[in-house]
Amino acid sequence: MFARVTLFEIDTLRISLDDALEMYKELVVPEAQKQEGYEGMYVMRTPEGKGLIMSLWASEEAATAGLVSGYYDEQLAKFVTFYRVPPGREHYEVVFAEPSSAINT
């Protein structure tokens, strides 16, 4: 399993964190679910608008395919007017996972 990590910072004067999350759920999650090798994601944030999205992928190829196809940039573009700074991106191999349950709020 591989993880793609995106660090972001939302401008909370332009959009509330709750509205940004709902927009993400409506516009990005369904598109992620269509990607081959997609295995889920975690979205984390601070009250100030800093956050991290960790998407999980079956293989390194699946994790990086969205970069080649343009999928990743298309998803970022949906929020371009709400970022304080451009998002950062990293890829990691998941070498241990121990999830106790899914979090849905």
pLDDT of residue 101: 62
- 30 alpha-carbon distance from chain centroid: 12
User: Domain 2-83, what fold?
Assistant: Alpha-Beta Plaits (3.30.70)
pLDDT at 15: 95
Q: Cα 39–44–48 angle (5° rounding)?
A: 155
Question: Going edge to edge, which strands form the sheet with 2-9?
Answer: 38-45, 50-57, 2-9, 88-93
pTM recorded for the entire structure? 0.82
Residues 9-67 have pLDDT tens digits of 999 999 999 999 999 999 999 999 999 999 999 999 999 999 999 999 999 999 999 88
